[in-house]
Amino acid sequence: MKVFVAAALLALAAAEGYFRLPNPYSYSCQDGLCVKEERIVSGEYNSLDKCQITCGEYGSIWPQPTGKVELSKETVSFSPLHMRVTKAATSDNRVARMLDNAIQHFTRTIHFLHPDFPQTEKQPLTPEDFENTGHFNQKFQNEDPAQQEQYRQRSEYDRNQLRQRPRYSREEPESFIRRSPFLRKRSNPGVESHNVNIEITVTASDHKLRLDTDESYNLVIQTVGDETTATILASTYYGARHALETLSQLIAYDDINNAVQVVRDAQIQDAPSFRYRGFMLDTGRNFYPKEDLMKLLDSMAYNKMNYFHWHINDAASFPMYSNRVPKMTYYGAYDARKVYYPEDIREIVEYANLRGISVIPEIGGPAHNAAGWQWAQKEGKGKLALCTDSNEPWFELSKEPPSGQINPINPEVYPILGELYRDLMDYFDPEMVHMGGDDVSFKCWQSSEEIQQYLSQTKRESTSREYFELWNTYQSSAYNKLQEAAQGRQVTPIIYSSSFARNYIDKDSYVFQISEFANESVIADYIKNGYKVIFSNQDQWNLGCLTNTWVGDKAENCPSEVPTWENFYRNSPLDMLEYLGVNNARSDIQQADGTNTKNLVLGGEATLWSFDTDANGLQSKIWPRMSAFAERLWTDPQSSLSGTSFTQKRLNIQRQRMVYRGIAADPLQPEFCLQDEGACFSREQYRARTTLNNQQ
């Protein structure tokens, strides 16, 4: 009975822990989907990996490029050790240095493709790794000595930091490449002798991402004989970085040769549809260690997102170490380990920049303030934050516990805010600063004796109108402090949309973040009145509502259904504006007043309020839903979800790719659906597909 399986063949399996036999399945590309078939021994073997990167108009590129895409159906195999940068043309030393880092980051992601690469070692590229492992950075001999010195000091600093932190069994830093499973022997000499050359040309010297940065790129892959050349042409570093991201998506593991394979020939022209493709993380309600933020930045870069809105503090905690007002941190941090020191922040900002991401810090107000402000009263400055007495029921004073709101009539508030803004300038050198402006509770000010006294002394009534005026006192004073701190640099403030914002805020000085639910009519008013906006519809683009039962067992402020990846994908700012009666929202036609809708809509931002999330659940909560969001903003596909199975298939692959890179993205489907594209369909999709097949 037991002999019916060819035991000889399979005996090998258990010994090594893996089947030594070839995969029983092969894949063919049919109508843009990879179809699983049993492999015929004498027939050609196409692995799933190969099929995925070549099948369909866009292969597995995510987000889908907006320009021309041509991919050959063939791949060529090579060892990642034989991938070299043969040209990195830039006239700017700093850009050269940045490219060097991007190339190393790219190279690591290629090594991570090996299934045996230990998942725990897939960590962000630290400056230390960068210094110690660069086999590319020797190429740039014309390095500016000042820059070299700066980097030397940096890595020295970092090593000191490591030394200071007590650790056991710390491995000596060594090249991750020396640990790469791709070092194992390959039996195919053709693979061993194949070279991949990368040639990069960057024409501009931008080394800081701004809203007007040109992120477009051109990528050409050509294979002649045993040479494959990937040519990248971009005006800025940021475009070149995106091109490397796309190139990495045209490379997959090759299980037969213990190698990788790249699409043999390709041409891609690409540029984003929206300038602002952001993510907001709240580190005030729960703390995220620096390493987790760096991993987050990596994962955003994998999806070509470019703005990280850092909601640093909230009423619950103040984790930023302020050099100028250290007691904010002393009283406000959850504990001494849960602090972002200036060096940490600078490292994060620099790391983000290398990943093509600009960091927008937020110290918002007047609501969401309590932690950290306690010290001032002891030093005779009066109450800086009101409604922080825990004996009062929080629900009378704010949207959530803990309550707390800035005391706008205490003049001591503003110099301190000014100091905090100066810290922000020092640590972030930001292009924009978020000033908050959400959830202001008039009931809080109403309950405050100090405010009531002030109102009666100045002969005012306790009316909404007066509270708007108080809010305006706060906002205009804070704005002035911010501009003072900027010392002449142009720093654009961002504020959440509200009736206050519409009635009091100068549309030309601010950017407005729209948190209204999709299709609320007020959204159109912003555009009609010429406001510059970022879309953040909280019913579609809020990542935090998955388990939102943190106060009691009722979900608050969340839509009745959890936004799925389809919601994230479908929410189109321009379609929404068309629907709301903004004419020609999708065209370049100027409005009567000379504005252009597409210029007013900077882009969008997905948000995660950390009520019930910290670093443990972060990645799986945001990925891969935020990938769907990223494609909406990069590609802005005009038909919202046509051919869902094709989008779903690429999204499944993008999720898998992130997991290969050490990001704990959630699976959307059983792996069966990844391996058998189009098998997991709904009735509608099945009908659509059968009709399609019948037509052909």
Least distance between another protein and beta carbon 334 (Å) = 5
**612 counts as binding another protein under rule CB under 8 A:** yes
For position 371 contacting another protein by CB under 8 A, the verdict is yes
Query: Would you say 142 or 487 has its CB closer to another protein?
Result: 487
Tell me which stretch binds another protein (CB under 8 A): 198-206, 243-251, 507-515, 614-622. 614-622
Binder to another protein among 177, 256, 562, 688 (CB under 8 A)?
A: 562
Footprint of another protein on 381-400 (CB under 8 A): 390, 394
- Both tokens of 533, joined, read 């906006």
Looking at residues 403 to 432 of the shown chain, list those that interact with another protein (rule: CB under 8 A): 419
Q: What is the 3-state secondary structure (H, E, C) of 158-196?
A: HHHHHHHCCCCCCCCCCCHHHHCHHHCCCCCHHHHCCEE
369 within 8 A of 388, measured Cβ to Cβ? no
Residue of the chain from 57, 476, 670, 692 that contacts another protein (CB under 8 A)? 670
Between 135 and 154, how does the x/- string for binding to another protein read (CB under 8 A)?
--------------------
| Chain centre distance of CA 190 | 39
Note whether 341 binds another protein by CB under 8 A. yes
**CB 433, CB 494: distance < 8 Å:** yes
Q: Which residue type does 83 have?
A: M
Tell me if 664 contacts another protein by CB under 8 A: yes
State yes or no: residue 1 binds another protein (CB under 8 A).
yes
Q: Compute CA distances 451 → 5, 385, 443, 631, whole Å.
A: 85, 12, 11, 47
To the nearest whole angstrom, how small is the minimum distance from the Cβ of residue 231 to another protein?
A: 34
Q: Is 682 in the site for another protein (CB under 8 A)?
A: yes
Task: Give the residue with the Cβ less far from another protein, 44 or 379.
Answer: 379
Q: Least distance (Å) from another protein to the CB of residue 20?
A: 8
Which tokens sit at 154?
A: 């940096």
Burial class (CB in 10 A: 0-12, 13-18, 19+), 490: exposed
- Could you say which residues in the range 12-41 bind another protein, by CB under 8 A? 13-14, 17-19, 21, 23-24, 38
Of 10-18, 224-232, 474-482, 491-499: span binding another protein (CB under 8 A): 10-18
Q: Which amino acid is at 309?
A: H
Query: Which range of residues in 279-287, 290-298, 460-468, 509-517 is near another protein by CB under 8 A?
Result: 279-287
Report angle CA 242, 606, 428 to the nearest 5 degrees.
65
Kind of pairing between the strands at 511-514 and 259-263: unpaired
Neighbours of 375 (CB within 10 A): 16
Q: Which of residues 566-605 bind another protein (CB under 8 A)?
A: 566
One residue of 152, 589, 590, 672 binding another protein per CB under 8 A: 672
Task: Show Cβ contacts of residue 567 under 8 Å, excluding neighbours closer than 6 positions.
Answer: 539, 540
What part of residues 151-180 is at the interface with another protein (CB under 8 A)?
Answer: 161, 164-169
Distance CA(696)–CA(693), nearest Å, equals 5
Q: What part of residues 451-510 is at the interface with another protein (CB under 8 A)?
A: none
Cis upstream peptide for 402 (omega within 30°):
yes
Question: 73: which 2 tokens?
Answer: 């159906």
Q: Which of 474, 611, 629, 634 binds another protein (CB under 8 A)?
A: 611
Tell me whether residue 391 or residue 503 sits nearer to another protein (CB atom). 391
How many residues touch another protein under the rule CB under 8 A: the total is 98
| Burial status of residue 72 (CB atoms within 10 A of its CB: 0-12, 13-18, 19 or more) | middle
Report the nearest approach of another protein to the CB of residue 666 (Å): 5
Q: Which of 173, 382, 402, 530 binds another protein (CB under 8 A)?
A: 402
Instruction: Report, in Å, the least distance between residue 99 CB and another protein.
Output: 31
Under rule CB under 8 A, which residues in 292-331 are in contact with another protein?
Answer: 316-317, 321, 323-327, 330-331
334 part of the interface to another protein, by CB under 8 A: yes
User: How buried is 286 (Cβ within 10 angstroms: 0-12 exposed, 13-18 middle, 19+ buried)?
Assistant: buried
**Residues numbered 242-271 forming contacts with another protein, rule: CB under 8 A:** none
User: What's the CA gap between 568 and 498, in Å, rounded?
Assistant: 23
**Which residue is listed with tokens 């791709």?**
182
Q: How far is the CB of 298 from another protein (least distance, A)?
A: 15
Q: Are strands 25-30 and 33-38 parallel, antiparallel or unpaired?
A: antiparallel
| Smallest distance from another protein to CB 265, Å | 29
- 385-386 and 405-406 as β-strands: parallel, antiparallel, unpaired? antiparallel
Judged by CB under 8 A, the residue of 346, 614, 640, 688 near another protein is 614
Are 310 and 349 in contact by the 8 Å Cβ rule? The answer is: no
Q: Using the rule CB under 8 A, which residue among 173, 382, 530, 617 binds another protein?
A: 617
Query: Which residue is it, tokens 């490379």?
Result: 251
Q: How far is the CB of 417 from another protein (least distance, A)?
A: 14
Rounded alpha-carbon distances, angstroms, from residue 73 to 52, 54, 70, 254: 10, 5, 10, 15
Nearer to another protein, 190 or 326 (CB): 326
- Give me the amino acid identity at 503: N
